[in-house]
Structure 1
């Protein structure tokens, strides 16, 4: 398997080899954000790529939303689309080396882009970044986990086993409003920090 490091992701964005990029916020996450009422919540969108979810948050008054990506190119793309943003809201860093405290973290194709060996590290890091009672919410893929990826798949059972020790599983069900090419392959979830 290729090394999925900063260079790998930078090359994917520079060559526009980003088949996962939907071009806009996906309906399940849009619907979730639309029911959020605390515009002051500290929100992180990690591994966000071109950051459609982050852009939606920024455009809808969530002043404390931050985006993080290991590759610089997608952050430059976001900055070009949203020139009013301050640089502090665009973090170019390795997620596992990032420190902060957030009320909400949005998951959109970040988990599935990581080598499966890092999944336990992901869960532990997410837990450490959330404030007490903070939530991790978004989409996880529901298809067989193979060595081929990214994206790497997974199952509901695997996610429960991974997250339940550190998170209360508030919701984990098949997304009913996925985009066409992801129909039947996404689980919408809300996990709350224990």
Structure 2
């Protein structure tokens, strides 16, 4: 799933994951955040309804990262006049420090072989005490992905060495199309991970 793959999906309108609005669980989480100075990353941001919502709510350090230049170019027009940072880059090559990373259909878009690398890189991108929050699919898919599914037991083993679990529970406020198939996560980066 390289840049060409995702560019083609956007060009052809093959964006079944796009709900056309901010994800309800993420909106509820954002509404609870009081510190508007947080440095926030939305990786695999796509059409970035979450980033737009963050900006509307007064967050001024928002970065959207996506490998698909097609969608990043569209966002440059949509977000013109805002201070939202737009980066067309492979997530695994991105280097910066954030207080909060929002996960919304990015994890499930990656080949499962990259999941350990994903967790390690999320850990590296977060500053000490930083949070990884959002939704993961709590189901399997019959077709070969993306999206790629998973379950809570696998996620616990994957994230456990790197993060403290503040919230790790089935979503009660999913979008109707995803009812019963999402788990909400709010993880805090451990000062030292237990993977060495």
Task: Sort the Cα spacing of 1:16 and 1:66 in 2 relative to 1 into closer, same or farther, 3 A.
Answer: same
Contact 2:141 2:147 in 1 (8 A): no
What are the residue-to-residue correspondences of 1:1-194 with 2, within 5 Å? 4-86=1-83, 89-144=85-140, 148-194=144-190
Aligned residues: 190
Instruction: Calculate the TM-score normalised by the size of structure 2.
Output: 0.94
- SS in structure 2 of the partner of residue 172 of structure 1: strand
What is the CA-CA distance between 1:79 and the residue it aligns to? 2.3
Secondary structure of residue in 2 paired with 1:131: strand
Q: Structure 1, residues 11-41: CA drift from partner, whole Å, max 9, x if none?
A: 0011111000000101100000011011111
SS of the equivalent of 2:118 reads helix
* Partner Cα separation in structure 1 for residue 11 and residue 140 of structure 2: 29
Q: Alpha carbon RMSD of aligned pairs, Å?
A: 1.2
How high is the TM-score relative to the length of structure 1?
A: 0.95
